[in-house]
């Protein structure tokens, strides 16, 4: 039995998304227990609306406060010790749950997770990793915004963690890891990235060199490593471009009676395309490098998307991702000390 704690009040939609997502996924996963953390009255009312109540596999844990989406992380950490987010992470710390999932404020979630769970030995900073669709399948990209300034050593740690995650979750031996840079030639790019490349060449990681931004979507490596500023911009730029393309396409299909008809005829094609790049299927970014599993859902996730974030948590608990990172980084450190 795996137990996952949900910050049931987090995100733009709070309990109206987290509770139905919890109910749906419990039906699909018989070996899963969920703890809904938040204002008891609100959660019980939401359960009742779905003709459900607490059970052995669905427990409500009261937390009186909620972290606002735009609250500064330090203030959330200092002032909201009984927030749904904090209590969910406390449950991971105490061992009552093996993972926490939240659609709340990313900065506050990272600060709280780091403060409560601490990083694994040998890991200086946790990183945020997510999966993106590509021409050939999918790719894992980190860091997506936890670390604005990174040293070459940090990028190496991200590469090691990303590699372990992919090999654990996908059962892939020696996943290939690339560094995001601006030009594939060895002479190009920032000093930090060049030094990280040296460290990677000397490591156990299956390092396959530099990639440029376009190869995130068209390349065939398993993991792309970059600092959190660059990773966040890459992710957000993608969101903005996808929105613009959808907006223009929809405008063009609405131009006149003929284009409306073409739109109707193309609906199955467009729906098939949408399913293929549906960001909800990729929802659930992992905070890697902590003593425990913490998954961040997109703030405006709907029920399907939030389910995917819970599933990501279940998979990483099953595959013991934090334990594997702890073991492998631990043995890397030992080797270094002996050397």
Binding site residues, its own copies, CB under 8 A: 70, 72, 107, 133-135, 145, 148-149, 180, 182-183, 185, 187-191, 212-218, 226, 228-230, 232-245, 247-249, 252-253, 255, 258-259, 261-263, 265-266, 268-270, 272-273, 276-277
**Three-state DSSP class for residue 33:** strand
Computed from CA positions of residues 193, 203, 214, 306, in that sequence, does the dihedral angle turn out positive or negative?
Answer: negative
Task: Work out how close the CB of 290 gets to its own copies at its nearest, in angstroms, rounded to a whole number.
Answer: 21
What is the closest distance, in whole angstroms, from the C-beta atom of residue 13 to its own copies in the complex?
20
CB of 267 to its own copies, least distance (A): 8
CA–CA dist 38, 12 (Å, integer): 15
Q: Whose Cβ is closer to its own copies: residue 55's or residue 251's? A: 251
Q: For residues 156 and 336, give the distance between their C-alpha atoms in angstroms, rounded to a whole number.
A: 14
User: Shortest distance, CB of residue 180 to its own copies, whole angstroms?
Assistant: 6
CB 99 within 8 A of CB 317: yes
- Kindly tell me which of 202 and 242 has the beta carbon lying closer to its own copies: 242
Compute the least distance from the CB of residue 338 to its own copies, in Å: 36
Q: How far is the CB of 253 from its own copies (least distance, A)?
A: 6
Residue nearer to its own copies on the CB measure, 122 or 145: 145
Using CA of residue 95, residue 2, residue 287, residue 28, what is the dihedral sign?
Answer: negative
Residue 36, classified by CB atoms within 10 Å of its CB into exposed (0-12), middle (13-18) or buried (19+), is buried
- Quote the DSSP letter at residue 298: P
Token pair listed for 162: 């990303």
Q: Which of 237, 231, 235 lies closest to 146, judged by CA?
A: 231
How far apart CA 5 and CA 216 sit, in angstroms, is 32
CB of 102 to its own copies, least distance (A): 17
Q: Which is nearer to its own copies, 107 or 326 (CB)?
A: 107
User: How many CA atoms does the CB half-sphere of 176 hold within 13 Å?
Assistant: 12
**Within 10 Å of residue 275's Cβ, how many Cβ atoms?**
10
**What do you get for the CA distance between the two ends of the chain, in Å?**
42
DSSP secondary structure, 235-277, as one string: HHHHHHHHHHHHHHHHHHHTSSHHHHHHHHHHHHHHHHHHHHH
Our CB check for its own copies shows the closer of 14 and 189 to be 189
Burial class (CB in 10 A: 0-12, 13-18, 19+), 285: buried
Nearest approach, Cβ of 218 to its own copies (angstroms)?
5
Nearer to its own copies, 69 or 332 (CB): 69
Which CB, 6 or 110, lies closer to its own copies?
A: 110
Query: Would you say 171 or 268 has its CB closer to its own copies?
Result: 268
């Amino acid at each position: 039995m795996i137990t996952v704690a949900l910050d049931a009040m987090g995100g733009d939609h709070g309990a109206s998304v987290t509770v139905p997502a919890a109910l749906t996924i419990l039906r699909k996963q018989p070996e899963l227990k969920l703890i809904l953390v938040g204002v008891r009255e609100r959660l019980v009312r939401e359960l009742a609306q779905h003709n459900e109540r607490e059970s052995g596999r669905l427990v409500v844990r009261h937390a009186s406060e909620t972290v606002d989406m735009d609250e500064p992380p330090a203030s959330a950490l200092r002032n909201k010790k009984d927030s749904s987010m904090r209590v969910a992470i406390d449950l991971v710390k105490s061992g009552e749950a093996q993972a926490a999932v939240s659609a709340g404020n990313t900065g506050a979630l990272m600060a709280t997770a780091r403060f409560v769970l601490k990083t694994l030995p040998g890991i200086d900073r946790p990183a945020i990793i997510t999966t993106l669709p590509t021409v050939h399948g999918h790719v894992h990209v980190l860091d997506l915004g936890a670390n604005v300034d990174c040293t070459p050593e940090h990028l190496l740690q991200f590469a090691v963690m990303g590699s372990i995650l992919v090999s654990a979750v996908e059962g892939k031996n020696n996943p290939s890891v690339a560094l995001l840079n601006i030009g594939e030639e060895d002479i190009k790019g920032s000093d930090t990235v060049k030094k990280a490349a040296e460290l990677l060449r000397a490591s156990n990681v299956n390092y396959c060199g530099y990639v440029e931004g376009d190869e995130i979507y068209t390349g065939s490596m398993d993991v792309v490593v970059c600092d959190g500023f660059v990773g966040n911009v890459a992710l957000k730029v993608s969101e903005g471009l996808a929105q613009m393309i959808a907006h223009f396409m929809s405008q063009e299909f609405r131009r006149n009676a003929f284009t409306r008809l073409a739109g109707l005829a193309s609906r199955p094609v467009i729906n098939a395309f949408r399913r293929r790049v549906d960001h909800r299927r990729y929802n659930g970014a992992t905070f890697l490098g902590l003593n425990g599993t913490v998954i961040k859902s997109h703030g405006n996730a709907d029920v399907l998307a939030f389910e995917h974030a819970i599933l990501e948590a279940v998979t990483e608990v099953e595959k013991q991702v934090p334990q594997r990172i702890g073991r492998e980084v631990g043995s890397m450190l030992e080797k270094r000390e002996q050397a």
